[in-house]
Structure 1
Amino acid sequence: MAERNEKKRKRIENTQKQQNKKQDGEVKKEERDGNSEEMAKKGQEIQAKSNSNKKFKKVFPYGNYKSYYGYRIGKGPEREEDPRIRVLKKEWFEGKDCLDIGCNSGVVTIQIAKKYNCKSILGLDIDSALIEEAFWYLRKFVKMEFAEKKNTNNTNVKAVQDVNESEQCTNKSSNEGADNGSSHQSSCERNLSDIVSFRQENFVRSRPHDKQYDTILCLSVTKWIHLNWGDDGLITAFGKIWRLLRPGGVFVLEPQPWSSYERNRRVSETTRSNYRDIKYRPDFFREMLLDKIGFRRVEVVTSDLSGTRTGFNRPIFAYYK
């Protein structure tokens, strides 16, 4: 009897142990499943965040980069002169009507006006946000210019000189009418806001301008015209530039190399497609502009631009109408 009870007790204990093991296994499985679900949820959140970043990543299919000059010449571009300006000739700008195609945020446009005293200079860009930024920079330059003049005029001697200079300006302005407007206005009569203007415009697709210009700049822009509108768009732009120039006018061109096209060909489906179809590479521009467009001669302004950052050491050419 005692032996049967002992066997029965052991069977009950074994059954209980098996049930406990089964319960422990189920608990651990639930924990594992719970951890897996939590890890999967975190993974989904990370993936969603990654996809969100990709979805809203800013692309610049027209080369319309923000802070372009800060990247190219360093911080505070309004304080630091773009190295390209040092190789440009004063005679191309002083007292001349000028056009800057693809001006970005307008820093170079303003610096040229300030240094060389253009009669007028218009900056164009396809990006309206960059044009707003260009006007912001213009206001900033005007304030800086006013502060510089104010500091210069602090002495009585300078005040007397200013009176004399003002009288000279008045006399000169009176004589300019007799010169049929050929002489440009003295800088003492105007500030940068009188000289510089900006406008949002797609130069390739826009209507012809009402006026002509003495100097037209196209600095690091041809690649973006070429990739977005192909060979036909580039030829259209070059032809329009030639027609907008007055006889004897100069077209200042800074083309990007073909290797630069390759790096940017995937920014949009349009650029990807046009890249494959391009026949007239940058090495052909000289022949195109002289033989097909009609410029009479070309001058190499610089083939090695010192003081610029890596990747921006590009040749600059001057084509004369």
Structure 2
Amino acid sequence: MEEKGGNQKKEEKSQDEVKQTKRKRKYVFPYGNYKSYYGYRIGRDLEEDPRLKVLKKEWFEGKDCLDIGCNSGILTIQIAKKFLCQSILGIDIDSDRIEDAYWHLRKFAKMENTGKMNGKASKLKISEDSNGQGNDIAMPSDGETKKDLFEIVSFRQENFVRSSRTPEESYDTILCLSVTKWIHLNWGDDGLITLFSRIWRLLKPGGILVLEPQPWKSYENNRLVSETATLNYKNIKFRPNTFQDLLLDKIGFRTVEDLTPGLSGSKTGFNRPILVFQK
């Protein structure tokens, strides 16, 4: 009886393991919309995304910005905080990632507000220690008050390539970081041209495109993610090493700057070029 019961338990356990395996297999991310993307890209030993070190403040400070394929919004928010954007909109094809982005925005805003309160309390204590009164604190004027993160950062679910939305906005700076491969595999060369052309139209004169294209090897690694990706992979003519000429000669950007030499600290597999194009 004990042996029979033991076998039954083993069978039940085995069935549970099969079910769990099947559940895991269901999580496919054909658009690169990974749930924990920044977790395995950045790693726990780094305080910030290494790409922030090569970006220039002048491209963002007081500027209206767009982040295409923002995923969970962490880098979007960090750019807003570090470089003091006038506004920055993050868009992603996956509504779940947009929910994650707003969760992170609330978290960052709460931390920022807590820091402000602690800063005010510290100033109050210093003032009281110096003159015994708390009414001589220099409070910032309205012009000096920093904007709240919720006034700067916003997110929206959108398929940038297939969107029927009439563009009302224009931007000083547009980020397209590790997105081109997924657009290419899902919508082919036509999708890539649509991406670049639409970015061009949305940029203000003199505007900046920050582009991080994945290498062709990365396409090979992900070509089987869907039947569509497999088919498009076989028919792609514009490989990543042609993007620079495509953007300069066909789309119409005037100049390009390669930021890659200054980039360090990226995890293995994420050593990708970062190119900055000016309209």
Q: TM-score, normalised by structure 1?
A: 0.76
Distance 1:146 1:162 in 2: 19
Does structure 1 residue 215 correspond to structure 2 residue 190?
no
Instruction: Tell me what 1:190 maps to.
Output: 147
Does structure 1 residue 205 correspond to structure 2 residue 162?
yes
Distance 1:133 1:41 in 2: 39
Per-residue displacement from partner, 1:125-155 (whole Å, max 9, x unpaired)? 0000000000000000001111111222222
Instruction: Tell me what 1:251 maps to.
Output: 209
Counterpart residue identity of residue 18, structure 2 = S
Per-residue displacement from partner, 1:51-106 (whole Å, max 9, x unpaired)? 762365211000000111111112498xx311101110000000000000000000
Counterpart residue identity of residue 240, structure 2 = P
Pick the structure with greater CA Rg.
1
Q: Is contact 2:52–2:79 with CA below 8 Å preserved after alignment?
A: yes
Q: Is contact 1:109–1:123 with CA below 8 Å preserved after alignment?
A: yes
Counterpart residue identity of residue 54, structure 1 = K
Does structure 1 residue 54 correspond to structure 2 residue 22?
yes
What are the ranges of 5 or more consecutive residues in structure 2 without an aligned counterpart? 128-133
Tell me the SS of whatever aligns to 2:31.
coil
Counterpart residue identity of residue 110, structure 2 = K
Which has the larger share of helix? 1
Does structure 1 residue 126 correspond to structure 2 residue 126?
no
CA RMSD of aligned residues (A): 2.5
Distance 1:210 1:105 in 2: 24
Query: Structure 1 pair 153/39, CA: closer, same or farther in 2 (3 Å)?
Result: closer
What are the ranges of 5 or more consecutive residues in structure 1 without an aligned counterpart? 1-34, 170-185
Counterpart residue identity of residue 147, structure 2 = R
Distance 1:202 1:53 in 2: 30
Instruction: Tell me what 2:131 maps to.
Output: none
Tell me the SS of whatever aligns to 1:232.
helix
Distance 1:162 1:239 in 2: 50
Distance 1:51 1:267 in 2: 21
Tell me the SS of whatever aligns to 2:196.
helix
Q: Is contact 1:305–1:314 with CA below 8 Å preserved after alignment?
A: no
Instruction: Tell me what 1:282 maps to.
Output: 240
Q: Is contact 1:216–1:245 with CA below 8 Å preserved after alignment?
A: yes
Distance 1:300 1:242 in 2: 19
Instruction: Tell me what 1:301 maps to.
Output: 259
Tell me which of 131, 134, 137 is aligned to 2:104.
137
Instruction: Tell me what 2:68 maps to.
Output: 101
Counterpart residue identity of residue 198, structure 1 = F
Aligned length: 265
Q: Is contact 1:304–1:315 with CA below 8 Å preserved after alignment?
A: no
Q: Is contact 1:59–1:267 with CA below 8 Å preserved after alignment?
A: yes
Q: TM-score, normalised by structure 2?
A: 0.87
Higher relative contact order (CA 8 A, sep 6+): 2
Distance 1:55 1:268 in 2: 17
Counterpart residue identity of residue 271, structure 2 = N
Q: Is contact 2:54–2:262 with CA below 8 Å preserved after alignment?
A: no
